[in-house]
């Protein structure tokens, strides 16, 4: 969640650290700080609550100039987001930044207090700084002391440390939180995400679980979990640094919503023949493994979980495979009974979500047939640790609220469904060919839905003064309604609930009055008439209806009913199309409410803590 950047160089590194932090701000943004071993031989730091721009202004007023430094952007877990809790944390001559959670921090804090260490923050990170300081009393070398320190930590950490006594090195440790070394010429860098360093290098070395690294200007040394010196592969990225620019759009979120036709097209590219999905898109052993699959277990969090919920309808209807879907934070702590020949599928934009990763690691012990990751980041832990992978091609998503990642995940999951149906012989070739054809047309349909942008913007005005909203859907549109409600609450802070429309009269109908807008998606399918009856129940209680309906669904505007017509689409693909107006709706409501659309309060893009 938090972001880490570090540098050891011949040149002044503060501007590099700041630029890195800006690129990482999507991970967490409630405070930021930097510690530099300055050219006059002291360890100095600057920390500020709020965004990186606050820190930048403070550094303009009081520059820190040096050739060794670490920096951090924080998403608070222990202690309020304020200056004294912002990283880096100091202990004597040491500065430490940390991403993760130390579970035994309270016990360690008590031991260290008894030894005379004084705490100035509420964070678990300060415990690491003091513990390392203490170890250094006997084990004078920084990496040796760091190895001894991490042995006493329970939990997750990505750590970067500098010491005024050993100012030629930056040391790092990884367990549960990603870290990557950026390799330069006569200078080296460290970050929690390579994006932070694309301005200075295109060569990277990923630390693995349990690794400790000693990074100097002209060398990098790494030890694995067992203390053995190891080499890690150098990866070179030849593409230019990914653009982090909003173009003509006011927010990244709006830009990313409008990118969906292009990224869906990219996600489909090379994965379908004329009539069929190419099963090998999931990996060389996919066909052999898919033939054995008798059940599917999907595990994910948040928006990715909603994608999994849609996939359940597809897998059961089209491939005839029983499917269970569960949020990772529940799955990982439950005693799970695994049916024979179950494929374990994780879905994640980042591939670093702590709960999803932990669920995958647990699954390996539970006797699943194989694991498959549907993920947007090829170099993520989830991809590295899964047997099979399908990379979504959404490109970098900067808006914290996930949009294009969701629709490309849906595309990946539909490809999976068709592949399983094909290999197991449970899906008629004609049905597969029709859906392949429909998938080919999908980018055009998405473009048509996006053309409704200004209509949806107008509808958003109905929500500006509201505090609560209900989202309804039936069948595979129920998870779409859940995703619509999640988007609205995330970025506009309006309370939103999603229900299967048939559940309305079992409780939530009591909430409906003319102050509660009810949003629903109504493709022209066999559930339409049932949905219409549910909408009558809402109207009869004075509820305001906002309906995104198929142009042939026979729904029209009326008193208290606002209908937006959607292009016609094959029912199987309708969850992908109907997501678009709900994304636009949340976006425009948030803009009207004046919230920070791309970086909503209390959230972070990549949730690498539990």
The one among 389, 607, 608, 609 contacting ligand F6R by CB under 6 A: 607
Q: Report the SS3 class of residue 82.
A: coil
In the complex, the smallest distance separating the C-beta of residue 357 from ligand F6R, rounded to whole angstroms, is 9
Order across the sheet with 203-206: list the strands.
Answer: 43-49, 31-38, 66-74, 3-8, 188-191, 180-183, 203-206, 234-236
Answer yes or no: are the C-beta atoms of 51 and 25 closer than 8 Å: yes
The one among 31, 121, 295, 350 contacting ligand F6R by CB under 6 A: 350
What's the full length of the chain, in residues? Answer: 610
Q: Residue 64 corresponds to which tokens in the numbers above?
A: 């820190």
Find the catalytic residue in 51, 135, 487, 605: 605
Q: Pick out residues in 287-346 that bind ligand F6R (CB under 6 A).
A: 301-304
Name which of 304 and 599 has its Cβ closer to ligand F6R.
304
Q: Pick out residues in 60-119 that bind ligand F6R (CB under 6 A).
A: none
Question: What's 176's DSSP letter?
Answer: B
Name which of 27 and 135 has its Cβ closer to ligand F6R.
27
Name which of 342 and 356 has its Cβ closer to ligand F6R.
356
Answer yes or no: are the C-beta atoms of 331 and 361 closer than 8 Å: no
Integer Cα distance of 42 and 394 in angstroms: 45
Q: Is 14 in the site for ligand F6R (CB under 6 A)?
A: no
In the complex, the smallest distance separating the C-beta of residue 348 from ligand F6R, rounded to whole angstroms, is 3
The one among 121, 349, 408, 422 contacting ligand F6R by CB under 6 A: 349
In the complex, the smallest distance separating the C-beta of residue 406 from ligand F6R, rounded to whole angstroms, is 8
End-to-end CA distance of the chain: 10
Integer Cα distance of 406 and 400 in angstroms: 12
Q: Is 586 in the site for ligand F6R (CB under 6 A)?
A: no
From start to end of 406-445, where are the E strands? none
Name which of 31 and 303 has its Cβ closer to ligand F6R.
303
In the complex, the smallest distance separating the C-beta of residue 590 from ligand F6R, rounded to whole angstroms, is 12
In the complex, the smallest distance separating the C-beta of residue 369 from ligand F6R, rounded to whole angstroms, is 22
Question: Which string of x and - marks every residue 378-407 that binds ligand F6R (by CB under 6 A)?
Answer: -----------------------xx-----
Q: DSSP of 297-366, one letter per residue?
A: EEEE-HHHHHHHHHHHHHHHHHS---EEEEEHHHHTTS-PPPPTTEEEEEEESSS--HHHHHHHHHHHTT
Name which of 350 and 492 has its Cβ closer to ligand F6R.
350
In the complex, the smallest distance separating the C-beta of residue 57 from ligand F6R, rounded to whole angstroms, is 29
The stretch among 75-83, 277-285, 350-358, 530-538 that binds ligand F6R (CB under 6 A) is: 350-358
Answer yes or no: are the C-beta atoms of 569 and 445 closer than 8 Å: yes
Name which of 196 and 253 has its Cβ closer to ligand F6R.
253
Name which of 125 and 304 has its Cβ closer to ligand F6R.
304
Residue 605 annotated in active site: yes
Answer yes or no: are the C-beta atoms of 532 and 559 closer than 8 Å: no
Name which of 354 and 546 has its Cβ closer to ligand F6R.
354
Q: Report the SS3 class of residue 156.
A: strand
In the complex, the smallest distance separating the C-beta of residue 600 from ligand F6R, rounded to whole angstroms, is 9
Name which of 350 and 544 has its Cβ closer to ligand F6R.
350
Integer Cα distance of 465 and 462 in angstroms: 7
Find the catalytic residue in 2, 301, 323, 375: 2
Answer yes or no: are the C-beta atoms of 215 and 172 closer than 8 Å: yes
Residues contacting 222, CB < 8 A, separation 6+:
205, 207, 211, 212, 213, 214, 229, 230, 231, 232
In the complex, the smallest distance separating the C-beta of residue 482 from ligand F6R, rounded to whole angstroms, is 11
In the complex, the smallest distance separating the C-beta of residue 490 from ligand F6R, rounded to whole angstroms, is 5
Name which of 279 and 388 has its Cβ closer to ligand F6R.
388
Integer Cα distance of 542 and 524 in angstroms: 25
Question: Which string of x and - marks every residue 149-188 that binds ligand F6R (by CB under 6 A)?
Answer: ----------------------------------------
* Closest alpha carbon to 497 in 473, 461, 476: 473
The stretch among 28-36, 283-291, 348-356, 553-561 that binds ligand F6R (CB under 6 A) is: 348-356
Question: What's 425's DSSP letter?
Answer: T
Question: For ligand F6R, which residue has the nearest CB?
Answer: 302
Name which of 179 and 607 has its Cβ closer to ligand F6R.
607
In the complex, the smallest distance separating the C-beta of residue 586 from ligand F6R, rounded to whole angstroms, is 10
The one among 356, 393, 524, 583 contacting ligand F6R by CB under 6 A: 356
Q: Pick out residues in 467-496 that bind ligand F6R (CB under 6 A).
A: 486, 490
In the complex, the smallest distance separating the C-beta of residue 486 from ligand F6R, rounded to whole angstroms, is 6
**# binding residues, ligand F6R (CB under 6 A):** 14
Helix, strand, coil percentages in the chain from 3-state DSSP, rounded to 5: 40, 25, 35
Q: Is 353 in the site for ligand F6R (CB under 6 A)?
A: yes
Answer yes or no: are the C-beta atoms of 315 and 417 closer than 8 Å: yes
* Closest alpha carbon to 27 in 494, 610, 609: 609
Answer yes or no: are the C-beta atoms of 475 and 574 closer than 8 Å: no
Integer Cα distance of 179 and 191 in angstroms: 6
Neighbour count for residue 245 (Cβ, 10 Å): 9
Q: Report the SS3 class of residue 53.
A: helix
Name which of 88 and 484 has its Cβ closer to ligand F6R.
484
In the complex, the smallest distance separating the C-beta of residue 401 from ligand F6R, rounded to whole angstroms, is 4
Integer Cα distance of 102 and 109 in angstroms: 11
Integer Cα distance of 326 and 332 in angstroms: 10
Integer Cα distance of 384 and 351 in angstroms: 9
Tokens 């999803």 locate to 356
List residues with catalytic annotation: 2, 605
What is the contact surface with ligand F6R in residues (CB under 6 A)? 301-304, 348-350, 353, 356, 401-402, 486, 490, 607
């Amino acid at each position: 969640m938090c972001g880490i950047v570090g540098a050891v160089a011949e040149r002044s590194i503060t501007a590099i650290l700041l630029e890195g932090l800006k690129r990482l701000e999507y991970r967490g943004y409630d405070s930021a700080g930097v510690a530099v071993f300055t050219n006059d031989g002291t360890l100095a730091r600057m920390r500020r609550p709020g965004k990186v721009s606050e820190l930048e202004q403070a550094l303009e007023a009081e520059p820190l100039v040096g050739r060794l430094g670490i920096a951090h952007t924080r998403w608070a877990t222990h202690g309020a987001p304020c200056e004294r809790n912002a990283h880096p944390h100091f202990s004597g001559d040491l500065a430490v930044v940390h991403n993760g959670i130390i579970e035994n921090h309270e016990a360690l804090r008590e031991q260290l207090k008894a030894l005379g260490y004084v705490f100035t923050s509420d964070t678990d990170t300060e415990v690491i700084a003091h513990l390392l300081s203490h170890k250094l009393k006997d084990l004078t070398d920084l990496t040796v002391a760091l190895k001894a320190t991490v042995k006493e930590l329970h939990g997750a950490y990505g750590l970067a440390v500098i010491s005024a006594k050993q100012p030629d090195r930056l040391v790092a440790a990884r367990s549960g939180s990603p870290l990557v070394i950026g390799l330069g010429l006569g200078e080296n860098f460290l970050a929690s995400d390579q994006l932070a360093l694309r301005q200075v290098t295109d060569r990277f070395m990923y630390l693995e679980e349990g690794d400790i690294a000693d990074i100097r200007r002209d060398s990098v040394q790494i030890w694995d979990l067992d203390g053995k010196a190891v080499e890690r592969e150098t990866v070179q990225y030849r593409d230019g640094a990914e653009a982090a620019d909003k173009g003509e759009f006011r927010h990244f979120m709006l830009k990313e919503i409008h990118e969906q036709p292009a990224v869906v097209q990219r996600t489909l590219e090379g994965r379908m023949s004329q009539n069929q999905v190419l099963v090998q898109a999931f990996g060389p052993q996919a066909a052999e493994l898919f033939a054995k699959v008798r059940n599917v277990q999907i595990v994910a969090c948040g928006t990715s979980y909603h994608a999994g919920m849609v996939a359940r309808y597809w897998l059961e209807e089209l491939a005839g495979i029983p499917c269970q879907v569960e949020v990772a934070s529940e799955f990982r702590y439950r005693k799970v009974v695994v049916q024979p020949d179950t494929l374990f599928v994780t879905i994640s934009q980042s591939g670093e979500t702590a709960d999803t990763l932990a669920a995958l690691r647990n699954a390996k012990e539970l006797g699943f047939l194989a694991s498959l990751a549907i993920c947007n980041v090829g170099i993520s832990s989830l991809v590295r640790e899964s047997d099979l992978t399908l990379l979504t091609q959404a490109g970098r998503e900067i808006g914290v609220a996930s949009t294009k990642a969701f629709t490309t995940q849906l595309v990946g999951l539909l490809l999976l469904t068709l592949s399983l149906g094909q290999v197991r012989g449970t899906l008629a070739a004609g049905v597969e060919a029709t859906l392949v054809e429909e998938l080919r047309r999908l980018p055009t349909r998405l473009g048509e839905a996006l053309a409704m942008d200004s209509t949806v913007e107008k509808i958003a005005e109905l929500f500006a003064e509201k505090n609560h909203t209900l989202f309804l859907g039936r069948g595979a549109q129920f998870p779409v309604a859940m995703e619509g409600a999640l988007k609205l609450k995330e970025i506009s802070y309006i309370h939103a609930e999603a229900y299967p429309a048939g559940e309305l009269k079992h409780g939530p109908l009591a909430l409906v009055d003319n102050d509660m807008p009810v949003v629903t998606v109504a493709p022209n399918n066999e559930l339409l008439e049932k949905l219409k009856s549910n909408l009558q129940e809402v109207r009869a209680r004075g509820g305001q209806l906002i309906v995104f309906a198929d142009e042939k669904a026979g729904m029209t505007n009326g008193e208290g009913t606002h209908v937006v017509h959607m292009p016609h689409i094959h029912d199987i693909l309708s969850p992908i199309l109907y997501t678009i107006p709900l994304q636009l709706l949340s976006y425009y409501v948030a803009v009207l409410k004046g919230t920070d659309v791309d970086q909503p309060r209390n959230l972070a893009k990549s949730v690498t803590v539990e």
